[in-house]
Amino acid sequence: MRQEDGGLIADARQCLSPNHDQRPDACPVDLLVIHNISLPPSQFGGNWIEDLFLNRLDPRADDYFPSICEMKVSSHLLIRRDGELVQYVPLDLRAWHAGHSVFQGRDNCNDFSIGIELEGADDIAYTDVQYRVLRKVTLDIMARYRDITPERITGHSDIAPGRKTDPGPAFDWPRYLGSLDTA
């Protein structure tokens, strides 16, 4: 993966979300948060994730959508089931992916983290190509943000326990973190 100036990933399809802002001054980026998302829940494909991150989700399209269509959320990156990498927020900016969150005593994880969404669900296995793309983009992020180490990669469930469960038990942490050691 190649990064361009401003925190854009050259190999990603750019689909910039309005749901972002500046990071606080002097706040180093030193955390990577892994999430999952599927819209409607446990269904894959379509433009619903993009529509949510771009504030254009039609509440009439699914019974689940009225409960989330007004949310202003985003993630830096999404890795689709087929391995497509989509960027919604430049890495240098603050995406709105973590919500109320705490990591090692620091709250507001959006301030100092990068969020990667995997198109998936807690209890459905992720695809091989998703792991390959996740490895590549993680190594790229770690090369740019040297304070992000494997010990500073976490799940949404770990920074928002009791509120979030993703990436869930189907996510193979040993496979993913082990793949970073072979770089």
What are the pLDDT digits (tens) for 4-50?
567 999 999 999 999 999 999 989 999 999 999 999 999 999 999 99
Active-site choice (4, 117, 119, 151): 117
- Say how far apart CA 71 and CA 56 lie, in whole Å: 10
Least confident of 2-6, 12-16, 71-75, 120-124: 2-6
Domain formed by 3-181, architecture:
3-Layer(aba) Sandwich (3.40)
Q: What is the pLDDT of residue 23?
A: 97
Q: What is the pLDDT of residue 5?
A: 62
Q: What is the pLDDT of residue 182?
A: 67
Q: Cis ω on the peptide bond leading into residue 167 (within 30° of 0)? A: yes
Q: What is the pLDDT of residue 4?
A: 55
Can you say how many angstroms the Cα of residue 139 is from the centroid of all Cα atoms in its chain? 15
- Say how far apart CA 9 and CA 166 lie, in whole Å: 24
Buried-state track 44-68, b at ≥16 Cβ within 10 A, e below 16: beeebbbbbbbeebeeebbeebeee
* Domain range annotation of the chain: 3-181
**pLDDT, average across residues 86-98:** 98
Mean pLDDT of the chain: 95
Residue 70 a catalytic site member: no
Q: Side chain identity at 125, as an amino acid letter? A: A
